[in-house]
Amino acid sequence: MTKLQQKILTFIRSGTGDFAELAMEVFAFQREHNPTYRTFCDRRPPVNSWQEIPAVPTSAFKDFSIACFPVSAAVAEFHTSGTTAETAGKHYFKTLELYETAIKPNFTAHLLPDAARLPVLALTPSPADAPHSSLAHMLGVVAGHDCEFFVERDTLLLERLTQRLCEMQWASQPVMLLGTAFAFVHLFDHLGKTRFELPEGSRAMETGGFKGRSREVTKPELYQLFTHHLGIPAQRIVNEYGMTELSTQFYDATMRLDQQSDCKDIPAWARVLVINPNTGEESATGERGLIRIFDLANLWSAMCIQTEDLGIAHADGTFEVLGRIAGAEVRGCSLNTESLRKQ
Amino acid sequence: MNVVDAIAETAQNWLAPESRWRKRAIAEAPEQTGFSPEMINEAVTLIFSALTHEALSKFIVPADAPRKITHILSGNVPAPGIGSICRGLLLGAENWVKCSSRDPVFPALFVESLREVNTELAERVIVKQWPREDVEQTKTALTGANAVIAYGDDDSIASLRALTPVTTKFFGYGHKISFAIIGEEALADRELPALAAFDASVYDQQGCMSPHAFFVEGDANAFAEKLAIAMEEFQQRVPRGKLSIKEAALSARVREIHEFRGAQIWTGKPPYPWTVIYDAQPTFTPSCLNRTVFIKPMHTLNSMQAWADTISTIGIAPWNAEMQKLASNLAERICPIGQMQRPPFTSN
């Protein structure tokens, strides 16, 4: 099967290839090597095109081993950040080669289109401290050696981070900050009245995510805080949309366009469909629906993933993420699944 | 002024053939409630057939009844709000009613219909609506009363309780779930699937008396199949309301994950107005509602012990001593299947 993996690696490295053909090959491979998936597919109509490939719901990663190899042979496993009430989903990796290859060109195109070389301050644990965190691993891959991690034992090291920001400002050294939206809000709360003016060229990547937190901040509010506290303008802040169950990430087109954008680019080896939950068919461009992702780099797990996020597909080939359905309105006095998740 | 007579007469006016109150509710309520006109029609029958002279007469007025009651209504189902106003009137209280933005129609229309029968009595109810964010207005309403009756999700109840003066009596009706149990001998009952489908489909399953699951002894799969047919028949007669994109997505998620698990699923044609899922898992997960029900084998009934504090109603078939005993420790209320949406007037 290294042949198929090789084809995908070539596709990712070159940025060109026949997506439809490879997707059908990967589908055939996954159907053959994952009995759970095969049983699932066997109960559904035959697949004639990549768009019809049955999607694995993200929550299936909690209940099943979504893998096309014996998971005892996994070189890494990343876990979802489930609350205590639910078990975490696990994504097993036979090799990290596809994953790591898919990360770099995409990250560079969206965070370093100017080929800048910047020191990285990551508001996450280091990959060594958090071996099951896909985010920490990803940042480890993109940030290279010149990277400091500011979370230790689940604690954001606010003093140390503040001091480092101060040093960077005085040394006129542009810097790249990476972290979850929640970690940044935590930092801004800590900074209070303190404001930095980080040197021009400084930038930030935030991954969204307020799951299970007491306080939520909207994207425009968050970006205002970035500008207010760090002097980073909105056209240098990029939202990353990724998930443990995938190997490929999606970034706002902001730095490519040199203006703040909520539209996410789709790399050549991936596809995004927005599905109308009332019909199971693709939503019209500009209409809301559930985001379904096809990621060739997920060769050893599941290429087609049904997320629990709502989104919109745009005519220019980008898409927008509107948030998780978990926040759906709970009406009145009947308990439903969603109110329980909050408990 | 005889309050019982006035309410019973008002109810009769709603139930009369060609009732203009019913017509107005059917015309005005669907937009905000999201229910289909047919569902509103069904709701009118359910609500007002419960307000009989006999049922209202059974309500006992305590000696220390509050003089002024503030009712905070929720928007999921209209029935509890109308019941609450009637009980307030029977207590002889003045009633301030805050209706939900989802259902401003039923409370106001009810008071209007009452006014026609007895102006003086209708004067004892003031219905208003303001946004939940207007805390000052809410505070005023809560401070002016001797008692507060609040319906809604647990968060809303908690914040209303916090805003209510400590000296005021507070009755909060928060999150609840309901389910049903079916003994093997009831499976031969040909009426049962339609009764079960009625309980599960009315108010599009939004009410706290709507069953999330049926625990079945014996051939649960066969019952699921019959229930599916009955759900479709009910849908033909009383269509489900239109879902928001989030509600539709939540329903889609439930179908997808169970499909992946290999569960048996029956569902109506898109937009999937009802779904029956045979779920043999030992644990119980509440439904996403909007007419999605789980059929579970009876031996998993123990899983409901974990939910004991949140159970409203258990529907039972057959209605015999053995089955009643099985359920009575778990719920506030037990009743035959088909009656789950018809609580006695005196409750809540």
Q: CB–CB of B152/B174 below 8 Å?
A: yes
Q: Find the Cα–Cα–Cα–Cα dihedral B222, B226, B231, B236, rounded to 10°.
A: 150
CB spacing of B154 vs A339 below 8 angstroms: yes
DSSP class of residue A89 equals P
- Which residues of chain A are within 8 Å of residue B205 when distances are taken between CB atoms? 334
Using a CB-CB cut-off of 8 Å, the residues of chain A touching B80 are 333
Helix or strand or coil: residue A306?
strand
- Across the interface, do B76 and A334 touch by the CB < 8 Å criterion? yes
Contacts for A287-290 with beta carbons within 8 Å, 24 or more apart?
Answer: A287/A312, A288/A312, A288/A322, A288/B245, A289/B245, A289/B249, A290/A325, A290/B249, A290/B252, A290/B253
Q: Which of residues 56-95 of B touch A (CB under 8 A)?
A: 74-77, 80
Pairwise CB contact (< 8 Å): A335 & B177: yes
- Listed as ranges, residues in chain B with pLDDT below 50 are none
Check: CB of residue A168 under 8 Å from CB of residue A198. yes
Measured distance CA(A172)–CA(A168) in Å, rounded: 6
Do B7 and B154 share a domain, yes or no?
Answer: yes
Q: Tell me, what's the pLDDT at A330? A: 43
Residues A61, A64, A68, A72, CA torsion sign: positive
Instruction: Kindly determine whether residue A332 and residue B310, on different chains, have CB atoms separated by under 8 Å.
Output: no
- Strand pairing class (A76-79; A90-93): antiparallel
Residues of B in contact with A288 (CB under 8 A): 245
Which pLDDT does position A84 carry in this prediction?
A: 47
With a CB cutoff of 8 Å and minimum separation 6, the contacts of A24 are A47, A49, A50, A53
In this structure, are B18 and B153 located in the same domain? Answer: yes
Contact B288 A60 (CB under 8 A): no
The confidence score (pLDDT) of residue A88 equals 87
The single residue listed with the structure tokens 């049904």 is A306
The span from the CA of B234 to the CA of A133, in Å, is 48
Look up the pTM and report it.
0.92
Residues B25 and B132 in one domain: yes
Q: Please, what are the domains in chain A?
A: 2-89+269-310 (no CATH), 99-265 (3.40.50)
Structure tokens at B155: 């968060």
Instruction: Confirm or reject contact between B282 and chain A (CB < 8 A).
Output: no
Closest by CA to A323, choosing from A183, A216, A248, is A216
For residues B36 and B128, the answer to whether their CB atoms sit within 8 Å is no
Best residue of B32, B151, B201, B250 to probe chain A, by most A CBs closer than 10 Å: B250
Clarify whether residues B163 and B202 are in a common domain: no
How many domains are contained in chain B? 2
Whether the CB-CB separation of A308 and A58 falls below 8 Å is answered with yes
* pLDDT beneath 50: ranges in chain A: 83-85, 327-332, 338-343
Judge whether B107 and B81 are in contact, CB under 8 Å: yes
Is B342 within a domain? no
Tell me the C-alpha to C-alpha distance, in Å, between residue A247 and each of A177, A323, B6.
22, 20, 68
> Which residues in chain B (306-335) have CB-CB distances under 8 A to chain A?
310
- The domain that holds B92 is classified in CATH as 3.40.605.10
Question: Which residue in the set B176, B250, B261 is minimally distant from A335, CB to CB?
Answer: B176
What pLDDT shows up at residue B329?
82
Q: State whether A40 and B289 contact (CB < 8 Å).
A: no
Contact between A331 and B270 using a beta-carbon 8 Å cutoff:
no
B257·A290 Cβ contact <8 A: no
Q: Considering only the beta carbons, identify the residue of B207, B250, B270 that sits closest to A334.
A: B207
Last residue of a domain, one of B144, B173, B202: B173
Together in a domain, B165 and B226: no
B227 and B241 in a single domain? The answer is yes
**Test mutation, B155, B175, B285, chain A, max A CBs within 10 A:** B175
Q: Is residue B317 part of a domain?
A: yes
Residues B165, B187, single domain; the answer is: no
The neighbouring-strand residues paired with B126 are B96
Cβ-nearest to B208 among A278, A334, A340: A334
User: Domain ends where: B117, B141, B173?
Assistant: B173
Q: Given an 8 Å threshold on Cβ–Cβ distance, is B249 in contact with A334?
A: no
* Domain match, B157 and B221 both: no
pLDDT of residue A212: 58
CATH number for the domain including B281?
3.40.309.10
CB of A289 closer than 8 Å to CB of A321: no
B174 touches chain A (CB under 8 A): yes
3 state SS of A293: strand
- Res A340: pLDDT: 46
Residue type, A299: L
The answer to whether residues B163 and B254 belong to one domain is no
- Say if B348 falls within a structural domain: no
SS (H, E, C) chain B: CCHHHHHHHHHHHHHCCCCHHHHHHHHHHHHHHCCCHHHHHHHHHHHHHCCCHHHHHCCCCCCCCCCEEEEECCCCCCHHHHHHHHHHHHCCCEEEEECCCCCCHHHHHHHHHHHHHCHHHHCCEEEECCCCCCHHHHHHHHHCCCEEEEECCHHHHHHHHHHCCCCCEEEEECCEEEEEEECHHHHHCCCHHHHHHHHHHHHHHCCCCCEEEEEECCCHHHHHHHHHHHHHHHHHHCCCCCCCHHHHHHHHHHHHHHHHHCCEEEECCCCCCCEEEECCCCCCCCCCCCCEEEEEEHHHHHHHHHHHHHEEEEEEECCCHHHHHHHHCCCCEEEECCCCCCCCCCCC
8 Å CB contact of B253 and A59: yes
Q: Which residues of B touch A34 (CB under 8 A)?
A: none
Taking alpha carbons only, the member of A334, A342, A332, A331 closest to residue B177 is A334
B210 to A334: CB separation less than 8 angstroms, yes or no: yes
Domain membership of residue B94 (yes or no) is yes
**B162 and B26 together in one domain:** yes
Q: Beta-strand (E) ranges in A118-213?
A: 120-122, 147-149, 151-152, 155-156, 176-179, 203-206
Domain span at residue B58 reads 3-173
Nearest CB to A338; choose among B154, B176, B250: B250
Instruction: Count CB pairs under 8 A between chains A and B.
Output: 123
Give, in order, the Cα–Cα distances in Å from A251 to each of A106, A109, A256, A260, B277: 8, 9, 10, 12, 38
| pLDDT recorded at residue B265 | 97
